[in-house]
Amino acid sequence: MSEHPEIEVHQQTAFGDDGQLEVTESSVETSLEDFGADVDHRERDSRIDRPSASEFGVDDRPQVKQSSESNQSALFVETDDDQQTLTGDDAALGWLVDE
């Protein structure tokens, strides 16, 4: 059995000059370039670059440095469990995001 299954084509169509679908006798191949996209045709190595250990059973890979800096902020107000707004609503339900 082959790696790629054979596809049986019964009828293939393509858009003609007038914008209507027309039956074609030959195979039609399209690319994203046909739709105006920039396509990079360089050969790429798909392997993820990860450091490996020097020998089996020894984890001498370099430590990953993680930054504590962040652009994240809270979405809800930090409140006590029993804190309420002036209208009597639960204060913890207050959004910090402008609507």
Indicate if the alpha-carbon torsion angle 9, 13, 14, 16 is positive or negative: positive
Buried b (16+ CB within 10 A) or exposed e, 61-94: eeeeeeeeeeeeeeeeeeeeeeeeeeeeeebeee
Q: Are 55 and 38 in contact (CB under 8 A)?
A: no
Residue 81 has pLDDT above 60, yes or no: yes
What average pLDDT does the chain have?
Answer: 78
Express each pLDDT in 15-49 by its tens digit: 888 989 888 877 767 788 888 888 888 887 777 77
Provide the β-strand partners of residue 34: none
- CA–CA separation, 75 vs 85, rounded Å? 17
pTM (whole model) above 0.85: no
Query: What is the residue extent of each domain of the chain?
Result: 1-31
Residue 99 has pLDDT above 70, yes or no: no
Using alpha carbons, select from 74, 72, 81 the residue that is nearest to residue 95.
Answer: 74
Residue 1 has pLDDT above 70, yes or no: no
